Structure formats: C-alpha cells, structure tokens
Structure 1
C-alpha cells in the first residue's frame, strides 16, 4: 500500500478515563477527537486498517497512544481521512491544534509537536479542519 498521512476522527459520547500507557490516565470530555499520524514505513497506509481493527475490538495490542483512544469501549471511530504519498502529519496536527483544543503529550513522541491529538465538543470543528487540510495537501 502507498505511504501517506492520515487522520482518525473518534467520537466519545460521555466523559471517561482513558489510560495512555506511559503518558498516564486522562479524563476525556464527551465530544470529538482527531488524531493525525503518518505511515511511511513498511506497509504504508495499511496501518489505517490496523487502527480500524483496534477500534472494532478485533486487535488488542496497544502500541501507540491512539490505540488507547480507539480501543476504548466508549469510543467509536467515525471517519478516516487520508492523503497518499505526502508527509504532512505535523502541519495537519498544528492546524487541528489551532482550531480545537490540543491534548498535550499524546501521539507526537517522534517529533517536536506538543501533540497530534485535538479535541472539540462539536464534530464540525475538527471534521472541517481535517477535511480542509487533507484536501489542501492533494
């Protein structure tokens, strides 16, 4: 599969505690969470299918922070946005952090960003930003 950048849009209907491995436990508010990652290693964007399996409860291994979010029984993977053959992970994450509330210390252990996870109470806040950023990178 081709490499690229992707964003997962995750819904959470009620406040809940989620443990993010070494990053610790966080109390998350109900609403919408966007995680942006990249897949430029072996398998490329097949990583997105792995995230879908975690979200569906078909894969129990928690390797990345986002696995703790998507694999939590209270969350639902709502949408996936993909830009093939372009590495714009940090730019999209920064745009999301400007448009929504950054969740510090999550999903950005391999770069200098504060986070690659953003939160908003309304879906449109994160969805519009994600859609626009991925479209702009095509």
Structure 2
C-alpha cells in the first residue's frame, strides 16, 4: 500500500442523532455516509486502519468530527475507498460527491460546504468515479487489506 493519500470512509446507519463536538446534535437519516479525508501526515494511510479499528472497538474518546460517528453504536463501518497521492485532493473528491451532505462536517480547514455525504444506497461505485474524475486510481480497503 502507498504511504500517503486521500480516503473515503463508508459508514452505514439505520438512523440516529449524534452529538458531534462543536457541531452539536445532528440527526442522521438512515443510509450510507461517505466521509472524505486526507492522510498526508507522518502516519499517512495508516489513518484508515485507525478509523477501522476505532469503529470496531469503539474504545476511545472522539477527537475529530468523524470519530463521533465511528464510536457511535448506531454507525457501522462498511469500507474505505482510497487513492495514493501526496497532493491535497480531498476537496476535489468532495466536490465530485455533492448532493445530500452534513453542513460543516469535517471541513474546518478548507472552504468546502462539507466532507460528509449521505446516500441511500452503497456509494462505492460513485466514490470510485469521483476519484477517477480527478485523474486518480481508486482502491478499496476490503480488496487491499494488509493490516
């Protein structure tokens, strides 16, 4: 696996309300949620495995917006679609995923409306297309799991 890149976490819920730090209480409709994040720091794409582990074990206090969903019992981790790149491309992917979104979620360091998007059906193919549209090659964690 490449050391750095951008990833799209896919989570699923039957519907719930979650208190998400400074964003306060948010109602999440049933369906799938896609969170677009970057992993360009020292740990790189190991961050995806951290998210996966947090969702499985739900054993840490949330720090980032996405952590509040990962530790919530009504959210299930589905998969990750990612791409290898040392460039900041998460906003380009988020732009390609427009539609239903949670305002200000996960985008405090950019000018995007959101980095969390809601879908009624599993969005793996849509995410792959969004990544391809910016000239990158998408991969899924479930297909490339070497953790």
Residue of structure 2 in register with 1:18 after alignment: 18
Higher helix share: 1
- Matched pairs, number: 133
Give the CA deviation at 1:137. Answer: 1.1
The runs of at least 4 consecutive aligned structure 1 residues that moved more than 6 Å come to none
- The residue number in structure 2 matching 1:48 is 48
TM-score, scaled to structure 1: 0.89
Q: Does residue 96 of structure 2 align to residue 109 of structure 1?
A: no
Q: CA RMSD in A?
A: 1.5
Which residue in the other structure is 1:93 paired with? 94
TM-score (norm 2): 0.84
Indicate conservation of the 8 Å contact 1:53/1:59, yes or no. no
Q: Which consecutive residues of structure 2, in runs of 5 or more, have no partner in the other structure?
A: 138-147
**Whole-angstrom distance in 2 between the partners of 1:58 and 1:24:** 20
The 5-angstrom pairing of residues 1-138 of structure 1 reads 2-13=3-14, 15-85=15-85, 86-97=87-98, 100-123=99-122, 126-135=123-132, 136-138=135-137
Which blocks of at least 5 consecutive residues in structure 1 are unaligned? none
